[in-house]
Amino acid sequence: DTEVTQTPKHLVMGMTNKKSLKCEQHMGHRAMYWYKQKAKKPPELMFVYSYEKLSINESVPSRFSPECPNSSLLNLHLHALQPEDSALYLCASSRGGQGRNSPLHFGNGTRLTVT
């Protein structure tokens, strides 16, 4: 089992809904990430939090809003999504944002379907 836990595993939402994805890790990692993955494609970086501060936003539309309440938790708030936003959303963590030998640990993702 992965040490990065994501909830829910599956989510179906309408284009007018507001929902949140949650991610939790207890490895003491200080960097946390959101990735989006389409079928048969590599993960695409969305956001990076380093020491609970947003350090990278890969020009993600504002309908995606990340939040890092503490060093163990990462949320992704969703609002007014489009069908093309349907994808697997992966959370990951690493020991430190600047650590060279700090591999990413991924969760198993939330499968999001926007109807």
Where does this chain bind another protein (CB under 8 A)?
A: 2, 4, 31, 33, 40-43, 45, 48, 50, 55-56, 90, 92, 94, 97-109
Judge contact between 16 and 71, C-beta under 8 A: no
Closest separation between CB of residue 15 and another protein, Å?
A: 25
Nearer to another protein, 62 or 100 (CB): 100
Closest separation between CB of residue 89 and another protein, Å?
A: 10
Nearer to another protein, 17 or 37 (CB): 37
Cα 87 to Cα 111: distance, rounded to the nearest angstrom:
6
Three-state DSSP string of 15-47: CCCEEEEEEEECCCCCEEEEEEECCCCCCEEEE
Tokens of 34: 């959101």
Nearer to another protein, 17 or 50 (CB): 50
Cα 17 to Cα 39: distance, rounded to the nearest angstrom:
23
Closest separation between CB of residue 80 and another protein, Å?
A: 26
Closest separation between CB of residue 96 and another protein, Å?
A: 8
